[in-house]
Amino acid sequence: MKKKVIIGLFIVAFILFSINGEFRESTGSTVNFGWFSLVPPVVSIILAFISKDVIISLFLGVFAGAFVLHLADGSILYAFIQSFLSIVDYSLSSLADPWNAGIILQVLTIGGLIALMTKMGGAKAVANALSKKAKGPISAQIITWILGILLFFDDYANSLIVGPVMRPVTDEKKVSREKLSFIVDATAAPIAGIALISTWVGYEVGLIKDGYEAIGQEVNAYSIFVETIPYRFYNILMLLFVLCTAVFLKEFGPMLTAERRARKYDQTNKEEINPAASKEMEEMEPAEGVHLSIWNAIIPIATLIVFAIVGFYVNGYNAILAGENTAIINLLKENPYSFTAIQEAFGASDASIVLFQAALFASIVAMFMGVSQKTFTWGQAVETWINGMKSLIITGAILLLAWSLSGVINDLGTAQFLVSLLSDSMPAFLLPSIIFILGSIISFATGTSYGTMGILMPLAIPLAAALSPNPEFIVISAGAVLSGAIFGDHCSPISDTTILSSMGAGVNHMDHVRTQLPYALLVGMITVLFGFIPVGLGIPIWIVLPVSMVVIILSVQLFGKSIDEEANDLEFIKSKEDLK
């Protein structure tokens, strides 16, 4: 109730503020909304902090922006009514865009494919096969890390599969459950966010496309997405950090205490206080009595990847031939399979359509496999597929609202106002770092990467374009949005993947947050100091990325302490008390 009151007071304050004075300057048919153009993102961000609900925050952000737009043309009552109608209009126009529709279909279809593979026991079979290779704490952690990377296509699937499968193995090898949950969490969103094919790609690509359209540029958004990958410092450095701590067997902070405790005490009887998402766990379980086979995962995923690669080429090839660039057309006709030709074809392809087609075809293959193995009937296969799609409906809702927010921001001229406000006052080299930090704060407060990306991307790309004429600078800034959103989400105690990771590993949720946070903050700090600031200054990525990776390795060696070293008695006493 208190939360609702705060939200209501905030909305009332906003309305009173809106009608309390002049918020526009009319010059002919042009309306300059000035500071009021910031209303949609500010409302979304502030409400995200208050409500911790990205759906409500984005919805009210769109409403607030529409209210400002219509208040310029009529009374308060008129603006209030039209604002609700505008939300529908923005949503319909977003969904009517073939690109956006393709992205939503792609995301939902991949969710259905994941459900089919899970019911056939494919994902669990792969995990079981890898777990048998564990010989000690080092190999157990590395195998958990590898398994997390192999489940690149979805962060939820990663969190819900890797933890439960590897928990008996890491218990046996005396790896703490806190460390297990950290590895699971650190290979969920970070790898899904940079994977070329995943449930994240469509959303990220769609936001990039909208951002470039805001500055009047028509680009192949998927190609831009690929270009941002080297600049996704947090994702890359966190994956390396996890590997280093496993190989060197060095930890620091609360994780060191947890690991030393695990080496000395039996943790198999620890109480698992993680009721959250139990429904999702049940849905991720294979069908009863199914024979676990790794091919039930390998074949559908391989089908998805191969069909997508072929589809990118064919779709792009046809698009180029239908165009007017004679030089590229001649290149494709004369050397269709050269590296340059393939690169051009991939760049011209429609990723939303191709990935949807690939996921649909892979789903049909998975259905045939499941039916032929008598895992389920055709009716059950379709039902499983649809249930998998249902699990990602919330993603579709966030997509629509994020696109709608982007639309109202564009109509208000928010980006143009920020450009005029900041282009002469902010050093260009600091923009990627500021974007990363702001994204981290929003994501931490809301517990979601998606909403943060939707709020910041429409603002970051126009700002970057105004501050620097270098196209690479825009790519860096887009990468900062995507990296910052994942960093904050990784730290946040209310993040879905944080909750699912602790639950899957069988560890107290706040113990997971407490042990993981120092690691995430260290990698985040290195991301800014040795990643975004240097590339903002113009240092080439081929220098910055290796240097930042070396810093990660040295940090583990410098700050980490060997787990095998005897801890002081006080540490063990406290650890023993934790077990009670």
76 and 127, same structural domain? Answer: no
Tell me if 370 is assigned to some domain.
yes
In terms of average pLDDT, the best of 109-123, 374-388, 553-567 is 374-388
Q: Are 160 and 504 in contact (CB under 8 A)?
A: yes
> Is the pLDDT confidence value at 405 over 90?
no
Are 118 and 130 within one domain?
A: yes
Q: Mark residue 157 as left, alpha or beta (left: phi above 0; alpha: psi -120 to 50; beta: remaining).
A: alpha
pLDDT in tens, 444-453: 766 678 778 8
Q: Which of 96, 118, 147 is the last residue of a domain?
A: 96
Q: Is residue 533 part of a domain?
A: no
The DSSP bridge partners found for residue 184 are none
Instruction: Tell me if 565 is assigned to some domain.
Output: no
- If you average pLDDT over each of 95-99, 230-234, 257-261, 503-507, which comes out highest? 230-234
Q: How far apart are CA 25 and CA 35, in angstroms?
A: 11
Mean pLDDT of 167-174: 82
Is 477's pLDDT higher than 50? yes
* Mean pLDDT estimate for the chain: 79
Q: What is the pLDDT of residue 86?
A: 85
Task: Report the alpha-carbon distance of residue 153 to residue 198 in Å, rounded.
Answer: 4
Give the predicted TM-score (pTM) of the model: 0.70
Q: What is the pLDDT of residue 330?
A: 87
- Does 424 have pLDDT greater than 80? no
Number of domains in the chain: 2
Break the chain down into helix, strand, coil percent, rounded to 5.
75, 0, 20
Q: 115 with 68, same domain?
A: no
More confidently predicted of 268 and 289: 289
User: 335-349 as b/e, with b when 16 or more CB fall inside 10 Å?
Assistant: eeeeeebbebbbbbb
SS3 53: coil
96-118 pLDDT tens trace: 888 778 778 877 887 788 788 88
- Residue 91 has which token pair? 């949503």
| pLDDT for the residue numbered 281 | 47
Q: Which of 361, 394, 427 is the last residue of a domain?
A: 394
How far is CA 302 from each of CA 109, 409, 418, rounded to the nearest angstrom? 16, 40, 45
Does the structure show a pLDDT above 80 at 311?
Answer: yes
Instruction: Name the helix (H) or strand (E) containing 424.
Output: none
Stretch 193-216: mean pLDDT = 81
State the residue for tokens 């930890």: 251
Q: Is residue 145 domain-shared with residue 48, that is, in the same domain?
A: no
- Which has the closest alpha carbon to 56: 7, 94, 12, 104? 7
Claim to verify: residue 157 and residue 286 sit in the same structural domain: yes
Which of 35, 69, 96 terminates a domain? The answer is: 96
**pLDDT category of residue 124 using cuts at 50, 70 and 90:** confident
pLDDT-derived band at 271, boundaries 50, 70, 90: very low
